[in-house]
Amino acid sequence: MFGPAPRPEGQPFDRQVVQSAFELDAWAVLRAGRRTTLTGRSWSAAGPIRHVEVSTDGGTSWRRARATGPSGGPWQRWEIGWTPAAGAHELMARATDVRGNTQPDVARYNTLGYLFDAVVRLPVTAA
């Protein structure tokens, strides 16, 4: 990937990186004190997803999500139960594929933002 100026050692890219996404809109309002199932999908071009971890407290703690649906392919659906307390929360999901590639906290810089692989912070509210 390239930074502020092209470098002779730069390499073109042709593979997607490991990523995760919640199946939930940013700023969603959930019911406080009521158990909900958070769902999402993770994918990697390097191989099947080995596991997905989810944080409901902005990355302070992580729990392993349960894989759902077909496994062994480039996409993996997952879910995890959560009972939110009232207030603002920051959800995060990070995947690791079978080759050990894990989403980083911060993506490596490149001018055009290609291959963004960092863990995304999803703000939600429980009321």
Per-residue pLDDT tens digits for 82-100 = 999 999 999 999 999 999 9
Query: Which CATH code fits 19-102+118-126?
Result: 2.60.40.650
Query: Do the Cβ atoms of 54 and 79 come closer than 8 Å?
Result: no
pTM of the full predicted structure?
0.86
In the chain, domain spans: 19-102+118-126
Average pLDDT over residues 21-32: 97
Average pLDDT over residues 46-67: 97
